[in-house]
Amino acid sequence: MIMNQKMLDPKIGIVIPFYNASKKIIEVIKAIPNYIGVVIIVDDCGNESLPKQEILNIINDNYKIVFLKNSKNLGVGGATKTGFSKALELDLDIVIKIDADNQMDLGYLPTLIESLKSNEADYVKGNRFRDLKSLKKMPFARRIGNLFLSFLIKISTGYWNVFDPTNGYFAINVNLLRQLDLSRLANRYFFETSLIAEIYYFNARIKDVTMPAIYSDEKSSMQVWKMPAIFSWNLLKLFIKRIVKRYFLYDFNIGSIYILFGLPLFLFGVTYGIYKWIYYYSNQILAPTGTIMLVTLSIILGFQLLLQAIQYDIIISPKVKNHD
């Protein structure tokens, strides 16, 4: 376990997007261990000013600190991308993203860092859903919204073994970060999901680290129970893009065959079955046995092939043993 007295590592950096958290960020800065080499704080043009002098008084030159400011409000994703660009410029090895609202326990930094240093994973993130005691403290609507959203994101990104994908407490290997086109990442609440979706194409290994959720008196502007509906269009686009690239542009495998035959068969069975049902029902006549068999077999066979495609997709998902 890395302890606070460990020597400063100039290759490890933290990015903090700052937005209306002038009171909480002081507590966050106080909790940053002195082995962190660089702290990049990005002011995202909120109503509250970033307390630079107070921050400088706290750190006492324990690490290098960089203050950046966006020209306009870009959201948590936009601010984080600004910090990422600076991290690449500083040639860091590991970048950790934390929020300024003091809802992330920095005691888990050693686990995040060591997982990357040991090459066990390329991207390490928190998972609030494996800590049952903490989960009970999570607001019910937020819990249900996150659970449903997590399932939709699994389907869209291809990371079936990852849970709590919208967790903003993560560390990433800069070698992986350097390969990404940051302009393709979303600026606001869809940021973490778009990041996971992009690193999928590099077969990046994601590790979940069990950690509790911390809820203080800060009110989040994100209503998680609404997120599945808000994200639905973006998730659908991610899913279609992933299937086309993964199974038809970048590769052609058994999963491609399952999809190629299963999807047309299933859609044919459903649409033809509905059409024939309406036709025979409106004419008050019984459907021929042959028609019923054709529709039924098409739906069953198509559905089975699609299930096989899903199973194959789960099998080839980049995996790493998660931390308990």
pLDDT for the residue numbered 78: 96
Task: Say yes or no to pLDDT of 160 above 70.
Answer: yes
Q: What is the mean pLDDT of residues 26-32?
A: 93
- pLDDT tens string 33-60: 989 999 999 999 999 999 999 999 888 6
Q: What are phi and psi of 287, to 5 degrees?
A: -75, 140
Distance CA 109, CA 75 (A): 24
The amino acid present at 38, given as its one-letter code, is: V
Burial class (CB in 10 A: 0-12, 13-18, 19+), 316: middle
The percentage of the chain sitting over the pLDDT mark of 90, rounded to a whole number, equals 70
Task: Please report which residue ranges of 245-288 form alpha helices under DSSP H.
Answer: 254-282
Q: What is the mean pLDDT of residues 256-271?
A: 97
Distance CA 141, CA 223 (A): 9
Q: What is the mean pLDDT of residues 160-180?
A: 93
pLDDT for the residue numbered 4: 46
Task: Say yes or no to pLDDT of 116 above 80.
Answer: yes
Lowest mean pLDDT among 1-10, 80-89, 119-128, 305-314: 1-10
Query: Residue 15 in 3-state DSSP?
Result: strand
The overall average pLDDT reported for the chain is 89
pLDDT for the residue numbered 1: 41
pLDDT for the residue numbered 164: 86
pLDDT for the residue numbered 2: 43
- pLDDT tens string 272-321: 999 999 999 999 999 899 999 999 999 999 999 999 999 999 999 998 75
| 210, containing H or E segment | strand 206-210
Q: What is the mean pLDDT of residues 11-28?
A: 94
- Does 161 or 5 have the greater pLDDT score? 161
pTM of the full predicted structure?
0.86
pLDDT band at 322 (very low <50, low <70, confident <90, very high): low
Cβ-proximal residues to 128 (8 Å cutoff; 6+ apart), any chain: 134, 135, 138, 146, 164, 167, 211, 212, 213
- pLDDT tens string 127-155: 987 766 666 766 677 777 778 888 899 99
pLDDT for the residue numbered 223: 54
- pLDDT tens string 180-222: 999 999 998 899 999 999 999 999 999 999 887 666 555 555 5
Report which of 155, 79, 108 is spatially closest to residue 317, judged by C-alpha positions. Answer: 155
Q: What is the mean pLDDT of residues 155-166?
A: 91
Report which of 134, 87, 115 is spatially closest to residue 2, judged by C-alpha positions. Answer: 115
Report which of 95, 86, 249 is spatially closest to residue 176, judged by C-alpha positions. Answer: 95
